Structure 1
């Protein structure tokens, strides 16, 4: 969370300093593995980045590889963790949906998912999309206009910095009936409320800069939630409302205390 520091210089004990110190640990960890990864022909992303070449035969430098791997640690994992936390909260508050998804996972008859099983977990897919609507892991999308544009009567000159805010868009009543309600059926084939406008549902952004990790995220969430559904039932007190800490990315402000019951 160094990016949210008020004082952006390395003052010991403050957030920016802690962020820089943490980054140095990651840099050292990845850098010492690069030589072995460049020698290997493994299929993991670290190895692939070490061997990736442009059409002109140029490879990523060591610094490039380290930077990509550090970004991956945040981009592909913090966001999925937030999505899962939101799902656990709403499935605890809506036990009927928790049981529905549990029955769906039981029907597969296997403890671990294969790739071909993913489309069969339609309920988890809908619940995940609704969790992403209610608590977009990336709450604002910074962009810059590439040309003069007029929007809703406002003139926005070329080169203007703007923010697209999913946290606002996802609660617009003209697109989402009862926007505060957890209702995964919004994303069923019969309703598809996310299709009423090309940019009504934008947790992964849109257009040319749409996140390339959207399918990977779904695989992660389905694989993890499938395991938890088969092994645990969980709940929160009836009057519990999860506070959201939006200091950087939106996370449960109290750690999300849930009661786990082994099945």
Structure 2
């Protein structure tokens, strides 16, 4: 059912971008849609209409959907962990700014710890695809060059081989005196690793932290006692019930 809704949503996006594409080709805008419509190589090759549409849909999924999942699941964990919520709220208040600039991120170390931990627990991209560059073996199984490999980020970041109490929300595991993420170079890999690590690493982090900074300054929030969000696999973990959270506006 979720896959069917996703397919319908994709068709809506494709129809929208195809409808708007002629105006973008004719205009001189500086937005990404316009830039893709006018981009050319030195040899004069340009994107076809279908390629522009595919790029725009990919951007919507990669830049929006994953950040939405990360922000939602971080809000959920902080709703269940009021001590951490108050700690991060104190950080945001001490910053003395209503909105974040990129240079402010180093002044919110607790938020960074919590962000990394929620990506470990609730990886917004549940699986990653790679291709073997040479013949190899995995756990004794022969894998020839050119084989597509599906890597499960979700189970990988919850294995007891690399993480203590892996199913527990514990942002301090990323603190300088613990650094459980250094137990293996790919132990923490929500953005992949190596040469193909996602270029959205810093943009995604800034997006989620900017949203949470606003929430922390304006609201406190909670979930009912004992509540555990039911999840279904989509792009990443998707709340089946809409993730009900009780928001209370803080005194201004």
Give the alignment's TM-score, normalised by structure 2: 0.90
- 1:210 paired to 2:197: yes
Equivalenced residues, count? 250
Unaligned runs of 5+ in 2: none
Instruction: Name the SS for the 1:162 alignment partner.
Output: strand
Deviation at residue 19 of structure 1 after TM alignment: 5.1
Question: Residues 40 and 47 of structure 2 are in contact (CA less than 8 Å); yes or no, is this contact kept in structure 1?
Answer: yes
Q: Which of 96, 105, 108 is the equivalent residue of 1:118?
A: 105
CA contact (8 A) 1:148 1:156 kept: yes
Shift of residue 86, structure 1, vs aligned partner = 1.0
Match for residue 59 of structure 1?
Answer: 46
Match of 1:140 among 119, 127, 131: 127
Q: Give runs of ≥4 in structure 1 deviating > 6 Å.
A: none
Residue equivalent to 1:241? 228
Report if the CA contact (8 A) 2:65-2:235 is conserved. Answer: no
CA–CA distance in structure 1, aligned partners of residues 152 and 129 of structure 2: 9
Q: Is contact 2:117-2:171 (8 Å) kept?
A: yes
Alignment-derived partner of residue 73 in structure 2: 86
Matches within 5 A, 1:1-263: 4=3, 15=4, 21-246=8-233, 249-263=236-250
Q: Is the 8 A contact 1:82 1:251 kept in 2?
A: yes
Shift of 1:183: 1.1
Would you say the 8 A contact 1:79–1:138 is kept in 2? Answer: yes
Superposed CA RMSD: 2.1
CA distance in 1, matches of 2:8, 2:74: 32
The CA deviation string for residues 140-189 of structure 1, in whole angstroms up to 9 with x for no partner, is 22333232102333322223332211111111112111111111122223
Give me the TM-score of the superposition, normalised by structure 1: 0.86
